[in-house]
Amino acid sequence: MLAGPSDPSRPTLGIIAGGGAIPVTVAAAARAEGRPVVIFAIRGEAEHTVQDFPHHWVRWGEIGRLFDLLVREKVSDLVIAGSVSRPDFSAIRVDLGAILSLPRILALMVGGDDTVLKGVVRFFEDRGYAVIGAHTVAPELVATVGQLGRITPSATQTVDVGKGFEAARVLGSLDIGQAVVAVGGRVVGVEGVEGTDELVARIANLRERGRLKWSGRDGVLVKAAKPQQDLRVDMPTIGPKTIAAVAAAGLAGIAVEAGRVMIVDRTATVAAADAARLFLVAEEKDLAAPDMDPIEESAP
């Protein structure tokens, strides 16, 4: 879609960008709607494709500079999107803004991922910024209910999908991870701090060593949001790289929670699944906490 001219009467959308394609996808969606957008790209994390949009590069520790830039660009709404690694604080050169905020920043680093991310949201909200989800700007990112490719899971694979979602709810409620692998009616792997890619690589390694055995393709990677997860800043994602990893591990497909998982580059992801003969399905599950709606809880 071609973008029209930005509407200066609309609030500027700021995107604090980590790695991956989601920040650029969100920026393109905002531009297509004529909304002013500026990307604040984290050095060492964000992709260089952010340079296709108005942008500033910021380093870890440049808290004061970031807030100065947000004011200069008249940002009111913020999207925090993309993958990041926890920085090595011993190597960071902080500015005055970071020093003044140091007690708050150190407090943010204590706890699991959910606790940290909720603290980051409060950090910006306390300074008057509305933190909104990437999916509210680019709703096409979110997985919709149904079979997304040409391949249909078998009856036994459908059982694995159900087992996977059961385990994902427990795993997520403990703030451990977002993904599990189920094969032959049992859960054989769960995601920890290493992330989904490493979980799938571990399954592949176990199969190569003979610790896991099945013939042909079988089993499923299931990915779902944690019940308490703040989807504004941490909605789970899959993409073409996930498809490649699952295929290499000898699994039969992927199931995700509809409405609470994003698919990066959906067209390429579905095409890759079809080419690899993997099923790709999205199911609506009641995995959210009782007071959370799959999409509306993330609205500004």
Query: What is the rounded distance in angstroms from the CA atom of residue 189 to the CA atom of residue 172?
Result: 14
| Average pLDDT score, the chain | 85
The two most distant CA atoms of the chain are separated, in Å, by 62
Confidence check: pLDDT of 172 > 80: yes
How confident is the model over 32-44, as pLDDT tens digits? 999 999 999 999 8
pLDDT of residue 29: 96
3-state SS, residue 155: helix
Please name the residue that has the structure tokens 């944690």: 226
Query: What is the rounded distance in angstroms from the CA atom of residue 160 to the CA atom of residue 122?
Result: 38
Query: What is the rounded distance in angstroms from the CA atom of residue 56 to the CA atom of residue 132?
Result: 20
Phi first, then psi, for residue 285 (nearest 5°) are -125, 150
Confidence check: pLDDT of 98 > 60: no
Confidence check: pLDDT of 248 > 90: yes
172 closest CA partner among 218, 235, 219: 235
Query: What is the rounded distance in angstroms from the CA atom of residue 287 to the CA atom of residue 66?
Result: 36
Confidence check: pLDDT of 95 > 90: no
119 closest CA partner among 130, 104, 97: 104
Give the full edge-to-edge strand order of the sheet including 220-223: 146-147, 279-283, 253-257, 220-223, 179-183, 186-190
Is residue 234 very low, low, confident or very high in pLDDT (cuts 50, 70, 90)?
A: confident
Is residue 298 very low, low, confident or very high in pLDDT (cuts 50, 70, 90)?
A: very low
Indicate the pTM of the whole model. Answer: 0.81
Tokens of 117: 């991310």
Query: Which helix (H) or strand (E) element contains residue 179?
Result: strand 179-183
pLDDT of residue 291: 41
242 closest CA partner among 257, 222, 219: 222
Kindly state the average pLDDT of the residues 233-240: 91
Looking at CATH, the fold of the domain delimited by 12-137 is given as Rossmann fold (3.40.50)
**Range with lowest mean pLDDT among 41-45, 52-56, 114-118, 276-280:** 114-118
Query: What is the rounded distance in angstroms from the CA atom of residue 147 to the CA atom of residue 202?
Result: 27
Give CATH 3.40.140.80 domain extents, the chain: 142-298
Annotate 243-271 with three-state secondary structure: HHHHHHCCCCEEEEECCCCEECCHHHHHH
Tokens of 263: 């698919």
Q: Which CATH number fits domain 142-298: 3.40.140.80, 3.40.50.720, 3.30.70.270, 3.40.50.9100?
A: 3.40.140.80
How confident is the model over 187-200, as pLDDT tens digits? 999 998 888 999 99
Give CATH 3.40.50.20 domain extents, the chain: 12-137
